[in-house]
Amino acid sequence: MGEARVVVDEIQKWPTKIACFKAGSCHLMIEHDEHGQLDLERLHAFAESIGLQRGWFQAGSMPHYDLTPSKRKLALAMGAVFVPWREQAKARLVARGKWATIARLAAEACATEGTGGR
């Protein structure tokens, strides 16, 4: 496995009062490396290179920066890779060791669907 990539997802339109996000927004993130770690300093350096302020970083279970459509275009031009949000979500679960549990629960739910939930 190579170096973790800086990635962006699809532009989504959300109800917002923030003028710059009225046309939609997406996320700028970094993938987990082969050890399941996030290189947040690399993400911050990339964000700075496209004009984002460190104070705009959103920590938590999905560390990211929000991007306007024009910043998304710039991020892609600077080397970020488009990865659909569903693929990113699955990758985060795999990195945290939770994907197998979710896949098992989904399989169990599908199996009970034909029995009326019994």
pLDDT digits (tens, 9 = 90+) for 83-109: 998 888 887 777 766 555 656 666 677
Per-chain mean pLDDT for the chain: 83
Contact 84, 10 (CB under 8 A): yes
pLDDT value at 22 more than 70: yes
Phi-psi region of 30 (alpha: psi -120 to 50; beta: other; left: phi over 0): beta
The single-letter code of the amino acid at 58 is Q
**What's the token pair of residue 98?**
């939770």
| DSSP states of 15-78 | --S-GGGTT-BEEEEE---TTS---HHHHHHHHHHTT--GGG-B-SSS-BEEE-HHHHHHHHHT
pLDDT value at 56 more than 50: yes
The rounded percent of the chain whose pLDDT value lies above 70 is 81
